[in-house]
Amino acid sequence: MKLSLATLEHMFSQDHRLRVFNDTVPAGILVISIDDGRMVFSNRFFNEVLEVDTASILGHGWQELFVDHEERNRILEVFAEQGEVRNFELRLRRRDGRQIWGLASMSEIPIEEEGLLLFAFVDITALKEAEAELRALADHDALTGLLSLRRFRQEIERAKARAERHASRFAVMFIDLDRFKAINDTLGHEAGDLVLKEAARRLRESIRSADTAARIGGDEFVVLAEGITPELAEAIAERIVASIGRVFLLPHGTACIGASVGIALHPDHGADPLALVKAADRAMYTVKRASRGAVAFAGR
């Protein structure tokens, strides 16, 4: 004969071995009724991490705990296929609405005829946050906040795939700051860093919101602009030159620099992303040798 929910709750709250679980196991433990998904027991760690108390959740459906119900459905699918779940990453919702990351396992409790699941998880929120910080560091330049060269390479490969799929153009702009070395030599590297950060801010303001900007070297930047015409690419590059050309206000004086910009278009100047960056770089050096503070297209 199956036990009632109240009897099961009493059993799990009074059993001495389960009280040991409640007091000592450094993992969240939840017992769930297979029949209707109602929660039967939760241990102390579970309650502390999710900021709930046992009395407030018993009898409620465990689906209330999930941030994403697709994750709940997936863990049930894995359990149905394999008879257990091991090391499944998912997000759970705390009482205050914030989410935590858990590394969960699930198996059936061998109590005859009762149909219960043991759901256990460890809190890996700190690990996930650290991973996100590392990804952000890898994807962004620490000084300016622009994308890193590594991330830019990924973005240009994706842009190539989209352009070929939709038969559209994209532009790569290579920007080098003029007279920047003199800032470091005369005013010091701290002033140079301030100029770089301000130049990056002006660069972001000069391009479209959908465009991508990255810092790839000391005073070298690149811009990826998709769905663009040569005329619009030139107009954006000229905005960059004009913006960088304005006076930079520093704590102990001012600085005047400029920007030289080379532009390469896909597919006009090549299909390979790396070749396009090199073509834009060569066009930029054409400007450097001729006049500085101007724009040039590859192949001209």
Listed in sequence order, the residues at least 6 apart from 19 whose beta carbon sits closer than 8 Å to its beta carbon are: none
**66 neighbors 50 (Cβ within 8 angstroms):** no
Torsion of the alpha carbons at 212, 216, 217 and 221, rounded to the nearest 10: -30
**CA 45, CA 102: separation in Å to the nearest integer?**
13
d(CA 47, CA 49): 6
- Determine the Cα–Cα distance for residues 225 and 277; give it in Å rounded to an integer: 13
Contact (CB, 8 A) for 91 and 66: yes
Q: Is 178 a catalytic residue?
A: no
DSSP 3-state of 55? helix
Of 123, 211, 219, 281, catalytic: 219
Q: How far apart are CA 260 and CA 287, in angstroms?
A: 6
Q: Which residues are catalytic?
A: 219
